[in-house]
Structure 1
Amino acid sequence: MSAPDIILKTTPPRLPRNALDRERLLQFLDEMHERTVIAVVAPAGFGKTTLLLQWRRRWMEEQALVAWLGADAQDQPTRFVEGLLQAIRRASGRKAFDIIADQYASGIGQQVEALTALLAEIAQLQAETVLMIDDAERLPAATVHEAIQYLLLNAPANLHVVIGSRTPLPLQTSELAAKSNFAVLKTDDLRLQFDESIEILERRLGPRLDLDLRAKLHDLTEGWPVGLQLAIAKIEREADPSAAIATFSARRESLQDYFVESLFSRLPPHTTDFLVRSAILGHMNAELCEAVTGCADAAGRLDHLILETPIMMVGETSDWVRLHPLARDFLMGRFEQLPAAERVELHVRASRWLASHGRFSEAAGHALAAGDEALAHTYAAQSLWALGTEGKLAEAREWLDRIPPKVLAENVSLRLVAAWVNALGDGNAEALRISLDIANDPATSPRLLWLALRVAGGAAIYADNLGLLPQLLSRWPQLPGLIVDPLYFVAPLNCSALLTLHTGSSADVRTATAKIAAYGRAGSMRLAAASALSITGLSHLRDGHADQAEAVLRPALALAEKEDGRRSTVACLYAAVLAAALLERDQLAAAQALLANRLDVIESSYPDAILTAYRTLVRIALGQGDERRALHSLDSLDALASRRHLPRLQLHGLAERIRIHALAERSDMVGELMPLLDRLAPAFQQEDQLPLLPHYQLGASIARAYAALASHDAASANRQLDTADRLARQLQRTRDGWTVKVLRAVVARQQHADTALASLGEVLSLASLGGNARLLAETHPLAVQMAVELHRNSTGLRIVGRADQPAASPTATLPSTDQMPRQPGLLTAKEAEILKLLQEGLSNKLIARHLDISAETVKWHLKNLFQKLSAGTRRHAVDRARVLGLVVN
């Protein structure tokens, strides 16, 4: 091998200047760096080389010797071993490796001897040594089976081998894995997570994109690093980023060039033909692809594409795969260039196969594309039930708009299914009318009665007409042996759970939802199970247990996003409730990120999820000091409540307005709003709203208490709080009861009562048990000031969170006096601790070790610190804190 070749192969590429330090992947290295072998396996465009370069830098910072070798197809065993020797020679500076190279330079077939000598010399270095081999998928088979296999199985204790490749190498690693000496990162590990995409977009585009637009770009690119970079390159040149995102397509400009150069030019013609003709399939497997394309080796082609390209999205529990949306967009551009007759035939084949396998929604789409509208309507009608129960409501509504009214009118079952789809959204009033008409018809069969009552129950829930549920549940038909769909058993349980959430105990709520969980979450149970879990989360929030709500919903959300995407109905339902839990735990940025680019989906959900999401957005805006944004969100909530005729949403929006203006002592504005509160009362006295009447009374009493506080009318405030306290106890709404208790303490302080601090201390000690960190900040600013005084009088009292929370969640016990912020309520206790360590110059890693929390948690706290302090850098944050009196020199 020539000297220039050696220099190029053993010289690492330049680490991109703007490369994001992905903390979770660097943390993976921290946890796995003792392993003998670490494999990084992912298609092109997922940042393997960048990650290896970042790991290289991390290892070198820890004084390890790091050698780099770029592999290629000419690296037969002899050449490969020569490259290894020179790579280690450059990293270590030891001439011994030159001697080994000279000794075996002409010895064909002596690779094992050369490797043995190389490994022995590495062992004698007595220093941690790392060998990084990039592009290993290019290596000849003989090199992999002989040289690399020998290298891995005989590596001394101080040698670590990191292999980056597009495809898994055919190596025997079971022995290494059994001894915990083998670790692997795969495509999904390298896919950008939401917060990583957001950070990259923030660095590159700054304020040009708001959080919703950043989230939309992440959703469009689905965490594909190269896809995001290409999107950024396009948007950087555009005057209107929002319009650029709306027209973002893989059929134009740089993204099309990327696919042509990196995909089409590298694949054989028969594979590109296969891809273009398969692009019409939303989801595909080998059998379907063979039926559509006629390719007898469809399974082999798919396997090759999965391993060799970045465009195939693979599930973990199924042989079904799908194209990345950007790749599919590009390929559909090519598909549309095929002759019309061929396109029609391909759609016909797809429709026929999908229908024969019960995938009627997809079959309907292909029938429509083939020009057979009648067949498309037939298949669509058969798909509506499955689409609705799986939560694919937007798709179901699209088909409903296409099916002729005459087809629906002639089929009672189909009319009920259509009503069910419409019930889960704005069409609940009409759905309720249709379903009750059928349920009240004496000629209706027991099976149709069950379906009609289920539709009526869903419509009542989405219309917030909870007063109708007891009567509907009392009519539930007994169908022993006739029903196999678990929804027969689950639907009344969900109705009961939601009704109990507003009228009974949380324990009874969770008893009902636990029974639902026993039926699983597959098939027709998808949306029903998600609804039950969201109700469980709401019950924990009602009890003031934000930590338990997070524990229940966080893993469920991660799974839903992986299976169905961020904007799926199920994922958005979980996000609405989880965001509220994170808000309570003072993780405002995390809560805001959860709701980004999801609100339009959440708005089609049931009222409790909508209200929870909007309340969270309003409180986040206020917590970030943006009252205008908070009021804008309340305007949107009021418009939605009016459109869907949901008085409970109007109530809470109005009560929140009164609270905001009362805290700002805008007496005139409060005076204008109070009569509107009274005008809402008759809506809750109607039969279908009666279960919500106590909730109206509770919300109205708290709003009136705020108004009285703003007017310094302590007697009136106490009367309203007496009423609110009684109602909170009656409804078993612990979290609302804490708000009432804090307001009582505020009134007592305004009256100079000696009991004020003691009352506040009692409720704070209760709130801390559930991880509720924002009770004071969300109730009254005077309460925050009182807590500071309380702390000075009672050292060690925990007013914010629990000290035994998991490291992944920020903890927040009250800091010691010398760490206490001088502006009460600006920083949480943990932020104050981190600020003090920032002042001392500690890195993220050292801060994490010092506080015994994860690096990810430190990162979240720093984001919140920068936001609160209006700082752009760590040093800037410390300087701003000095100006504000939060730290001392």
Structure 2
Amino acid sequence: MTSPELILKTTPPRLLSGVVKRDLVHSFWTSARERSAIVLAAPAGFGKTTVLLQWRYQWMEHGARVAWLNVDAQDEPVRFALALLHALGNASGAVVFSTLAAQCENKAEQGMAILTALLGEVALLRTEIVLMLDDAERLPDVTLRTSLSYLLLNAPANLHVVIGSRAALPLPISEMVAKKSLAVLKAEELRFRLEESIDLLDRRLEGRLSVHESAKLHEAVQGWPIGLQFAISRLEYEDDLAAAINTFSAREGDLQDYFVDALLHDLTTAEADFLVQIAILDYLQAELCEAVTGRAEAGNLLNHFAKETPLIMAGPEDWVRLHPLARDFLLERLEHRPRTEQVELHARASRWFAGRERFHEAAHHALAAGDEAQAQAYAARSLWLLGAQGKLTEARQWLAFIPPRLLASDMSLKLVAAWVLALSGRSDEALRIAMKAAADPASTPLRRMIALRVAGGAAIYADRLGLVAELVARWPTATTVDDPLYVAAPLNGSAIVALHAGHSSKVRELAAQVLKHGETGSMRLASALARTMTGLSHLWEGSACQAEAVLQPALIKTEREEGRRSTIACNYAAVLAAAMLRRGQPDAAHALLADRLDVIEEGFPDIVLVAYDTLVRIALDKGDERRALAALDNLDSLAKRRQLPRLQLHCVSEQVRIHAMSRRNETVSTLVTNLDDLAPAFRRKAHLSFLEHYLLVASTAKAYAAFARNHLDEAERQLQCADALAHQLGRSYDMQVLKVLRALLAKQRGTTEAAALMSEAIDLARLGGNVRLLADAHPDATRVACELHLLSPDEQTTGPEAVEATSPSPASSSAPPPVQQGLLTAKEAEILHLLNKGMPNKLIARALGISSETVKWHLKNLFQKLSAGTRRHAVGRARLLGLVSE
């Protein structure tokens, strides 16, 4: 091997400026950096080389010597060993590696001897050595199975081998994982999370995209890093970004060229044809692909593409799916083929799905094959399961497609249609159909249960809680029906009644009974509703941590199986966003709601309320009162369209709170009158169950109004009323908010009760993980709590005002002292300097342009180096050592 070749192979590529440092990838490195080996295994376009280069700099910052080697198909064992010697010699500066290379040149039989000598010399260096091997999938099989395996299994304690590969490698990975000496980072971990995509798009496009638009783009590329880069390249010079996002596809431009050149170039004609043919399918499975394409090797081809390319992604259960951009690209090619071929492919798919009673998919393919009559018949048979699974968009589309004569002639089908109507804002129509069927003496027990379930769903969506309780009471006590859905339906009805009665433990008990019946098939929506109510019960109890724990894993699973905009995913996201906001993560909360609000608005009222409350508070956090009020106007319009007075109630009460904070007393007076005008709606039978809820919300709003006018006696009266109602309804979080307001009232009056009330509220908030309690209760709450010395430094920055007030000005910040040689890194010295100034983690992260997780990691190292156990102890030790001044 020539010297120029060695130089090129051992020279790392340039890390482009502006590359995003990803917290999740950094956290993985932090947890895995002590392992003997790390493998990054992902297909093309996932940014493996970029991650390796970032890690290279991080290791070097920590004093490690990092060797780089681009491997290729010519690297037989001896050539590979010689290249390693040169790479290690360049990185370490040790002459011994060059000497070994000269001695072993052209000695083909000594490959393993060279490696043994190399490992021995590495061990003698007694410093941390990192060896990075990129493009490892190109290595000859003999090198992988002998040389690289030997290297991994015999690496001395000071050597870390980091491997980037597009494909799984024949290495002793399972053995090393069992010994905890190896960590693997796969494609799914390298995909951009939604928050990361939003952040990257915001930086690169200079804030020109809304969170909603960024979420749409993220969904289009499915977090594929190179897909996101192509999208940015496409959008950078566009004037109409919204139009460009809506038309973004893989059928033209650079992205099409990438698929042609980088992905299809090495495929055989047969492999390319297979991909084009299966592009008609939403989800893929070996048997289905074999039926559609007629290829017996379909399963092997799917496995190959899943392992070797970014074309295949995980799907529900044992199914997989094509990446949306890849599918778009392949469908464009299918459209240029003869119509007869397309019809035959869809007809085969339709027959396969119909044979397995998957009538939604069968109808879709029958329609694509031009068989409208068969499509209508299949569509009618698909409605029941689609409604039970919460796939309401698809159910509504088929309902519009089915001829009215089919619905009119079949009562069972009419009830199924009524269920779809009930969940589509047409509750009155659904109730009429269902109640008539339930009252019909000729109805069988099964039909009566179906009718009661439909009526219950309509009542829940219409916010008629009293009717829900009546329908549960009418449920047949004995039945031979096998479907567990009809056991779960009354349990869920009882749970939602219990939720609003304040019996949170009862809600969770009933939900657990529902979940015991499973979460697939007809139970999909019922179990999701049970889990959503569990999350709401925790949220209302003031335990944001518990709500997050219940809903986060469920949302991840649902998004993977059904997509972000499915009904169930949107319901989970609405409640989880509220929990994340209370946990002090407004950006994560905003991302959860992005490109979902239109689906959420069709959900049951509690889901709509928590979503809008979250959006309003996020807007206020950003100082955008106009957007907050606009959101409330949207909520008011929605409330009137769906005839939901509870939504109107929250809309008006939140307007009162916002305007009261700015002491717009005339506007507040008008809004309080509007609040009183809503009272009759809650004294009617349909909404009488929410009367106490109305009184709680109204009293709280009136307390804010009284604060604005400085009418302290009126504020006290309203707070006492609200507090009693909150206790009655089991709304613990509302009790905490009211406790903060009572503390503020006591402070204004100069009574000693203020500190005790505020301290208790803060302690309860800490238990539930509600770091925003004070900011959510009142703008003055954080200031008062600080005056009473009740907050730690970190807790003083939970609101936007606190952050702005305490953020350091770049012009006024003095430079950190020089680093004491050999003790602290430059970054540790900067963090120590800011720690000495009393800054909490969030502000340190903001000042240095790094994440809070990175700050925590550096603090851990600081504590170890300074032999300190706390922040204050670390600063004291640093002063003693002369690292910071007094």
Q: Does TM-score exceed 0.5, indicating one fold? A: yes
Task: Go from structure 1 to structure 2 and tell me whether the alpha carbon gap of 1:413 and 1:82 turns closer, same or farther (over 3 Å shift).
Answer: same
Separation in structure 1 between the aligned mates of residue 834 and residue 505 of structure 2, nearest angstrom: 36
Q: Is the Cα contact below 8 Å between 1:784 and 1:824 reproduced in 2?
A: no
Counterpart amino acid of 2:171?
L
Which region of structure 1 is more displaced relative to structure 2, 608-617 or 377-386? 377-386
The residue number in structure 2 matching 1:372 is 371
Give, in whole Å, the separation in 1 of the partners of 2:194 and 2:815. Answer: 30
1:188 alignment partner in structure 2: 188
Indicate which of 762, 783, 792 corresponds to 1:814: 792
Deviation of residue 82 (structure 1)? 2.4
Shift, 1:752, TM fit: 4.6
**Deviation for aligned residue 1:144:** 1.4
Instruction: Say whether residues 1:826 and 2:825 are aligned partners.
Output: no
User: Within 5 Å, which residues of 2 pair with 1:396-795?
Assistant: 396-480=395-479, 482-791=480-789
Displacement of 1:453: 0.6
What is the rounded CA distance, in whole Å, between the counterparts of 1:108 and 1:199 in structure 2? 51
Distance in 2 of aligned mates of 1:187 and 1:366: 31
Give the residue type in structure 2 aligned to 1:567: R
CA contact (8 A) 2:775 2:799 kept: no
Q: Against the structure 1 CA distance between its residues 109 and 438, is the aligned structure 2 distance closer, same or farther, given a 3 Å change threshold?
A: same
* AA in 2 matched with 1:769: L
Match of residue 70 from structure 1: 70
Kept in 2: contact 1:71–1:135 (CA 8 A): yes
Q: Which runs of 5+ in 1 are unaligned?
A: 792-796, 798-812, 868-887
* Unaligned runs of at least 5 residues, structure 2: 818-824, 851-884
Amino acid at match of 2:362: A
Taking a change above 3 Å as real, the CA distance of residues 859 and 413 of structure 1, as seen in their structure-2 partners, is: farther
Superposed displacement of residue 851, structure 1: 12
Instruction: Output the amino acid matched with 2:692.
Output: P
Hey, what's the Cα distance between the residues in 2 that align with 1:291 and 1:518?
A: 36
Q: Secondary structure at the match of 1:295?
A: coil
The number of residue pairs the alignment matches comes to 840
Offset at 1:301? 1.4
- Aligned twin of 2:244: 244
Shift of 1:524: 2.1
Distance 1:673 1:203 in 2: 40
Q: What is the deviation of 1:710? A: 2.5
Deviations 1:382-418 (A, max 9, x none): 2222222222111111111111111111121111111
User: What's the counterpart of residue 863 of structure 2?
Assistant: none
The 2-side partners of 1:860 and 1:548 are apart by 27
Q: Is the 8 A contact 2:564 2:570 kept in 1?
A: yes
Q: Residues 766 and 275 from structure 1, CA distance in 2 versus in 1: closer, same or farther, beyond 3 angstroms?
A: closer
Aligned position for 1:218:
218
Instruction: Please tell me whether the aligned partners of residues 46 and 226 of structure 1 are also in contact (alpha carbons under 8 angstroms).
Output: yes
| Partner AA of 1:552 in structure 2 | V
Contact 1:211 1:593 in 2 (8 A): yes
CA distance in 2, matches of 1:687, 1:21: 57
Distance 1:308 1:849, change over 3 A: farther
Task: Tell me, in whole angstroms, the C-alpha distance in 2 between the residues paired with 1:331 and 1:26.
Answer: 35
1:565 to partner: Cα distance: 2.7
Instruction: Identify the range of structure 1 (712-721 vs 693-702) with the bigger mean alpha-carbon deviation.
Output: 712-721
How far apart, in 2, do the equivalents of 1:31 and 1:401 lie? 53
- Distance in 1 (CA, whole Å) between partners of 2:559 and 2:574 is 14
576-585 or 326-335, which moves further after superposition?
A: 576-585
Change (3 A) 1:279 1:822: closer
1: distance between equivalents of 2:691 and 2:201?
A: 46
What secondary structure is seen at the aligned counterpart in 1 of 2:290? helix
SS in 2 for 1:67: strand
TM-score (norm 2): 0.90
TM-score (norm 1): 0.89
Hey, what's the Cα distance between the residues in 2 that align with 1:705 and 1:535? 29
1:330-358 per-residue CA deviation (whole Å, 9 max, x = no partner) reads 11000100101111011101111111122
Contact 2:11 2:68 in 1 (8 A): yes
- Give the distance between the partners of 2:772 and 2:214, measured in 1 at CA: 27
**Cα distance change, pair 110–814 in 1 and its aligned pair in 2 (3 A):** closer
Provide the alpha-carbon RMSD of the alignment: 3.0
Does the 8 Å CA contact 2:577/2:593 hold for their aligned counterparts?
yes
Structure 1 residues 610 and 366: alpha-carbon distance in aligned structure 2, compared to 1, 3 A threshold = same
CA distance in 1: counterparts of 2:275 and 2:101, whole angstroms = 46
| Equivalent position amino acid for 1:536 in 2 | T
Task: Tell whether the 8 Å contact from 1:814 to 1:829 is kept in structure 2 after alignment.
Answer: no
Asked if the contact 2:198/2:214 (under 8 Å) is kept, the reply is yes
Shift of 1:106: 2.4
- How big is each residue's C-alpha offset from its partner over 1:40-74, in whole Å with a ceiling of 9 and x where there is no partner? 11000001111111111112222222221112222
Give the corresponding residue for 2:275: 275
SS in 1 for 2:283: coil
Deviations 1:243-289 (A, max 9, x none): 11011111121211111111222211111111001100111111111
For 1:515 and 1:828, locate their aligned partners in 2 and report how far apart those are by CA, in whole Å: 48
Give the structure 1 partner of residue 387 of structure 2: 388
Alpha-carbon offset, residue 844 of structure 1: 7.9
Deviations 1:570-607 (A, max 9, x none): 22211211221222233222222222222112111110
Query: What is the Cα deviation at residue 863 of structure 1?
Result: 6.2
2:489 & 2:436 partners in 1: Cα distance?
Answer: 20
Shift, 1:650, TM fit: 0.3
Amino acid of the structure 1 residue aligned with 2:508: R
Alignment of 1:242-321 (within 5 A): 242-315=242-315, 317-318=317-318, 320-321=319-320
Tell me how far apart the structure 2 counterparts of residues 735 and 498 of structure 1 sit (CA, whole Å): 18
- Evaluate the alpha carbon distance shift between residue 108 and residue 754 of structure 1 in structure 2; reply closer, same or farther with a 3 A threshold: closer
Work out the CA distance in 2 between the residues paired with 1:377 and 1:649: 38
**Matched residues in 2 for 1:15 and 1:541: separation?**
44
Give the residue type in structure 2 aligned to 1:443: A
Q: What SS does structure 1 have at the residue aligned with 2:694?
A: helix
What CA distance in whole angstroms lies between the structure 2 residues aligned with 1:509 and 1:252? Answer: 52
Go from structure 1 to structure 2 and tell me whether the alpha carbon gap of 1:667 and 1:263 turns closer, same or farther (over 3 Å shift).
Answer: same
- Following the alignment from structure 1 to structure 2, what is the Cα–Cα distance between the partners of residues 545 and 710? 30
The question of 1:362 aligning with 2:382 is answered no
Compute the displacement of 1:305 (Å): 1.0
Letter in 1 for 2:679: A
Q: Helix, strand or coil for the counterpart of 2:776?
A: coil
User: Residues 861 and 383 of structure 1: is their aligned pair in 2 closer, same or farther, counting only changes over 3 Å?
Assistant: farther
Query: CA distance change for structure 1 residues 314 and 723 in 2, over 3 Å: closer, same or farther?
Result: closer
* Residues 543 and 837 of structure 1: CA distance in aligned 2, closer, same or farther (over 3 Å): farther
Contact 1:44 1:309 in 2 (8 A): yes
| Structure 2 equivalent of residue 137 of structure 1 | 137
In structure 1, C-alpha distance between the alignment counterparts of 2:430 and 2:638, rounded to whole Å? 19
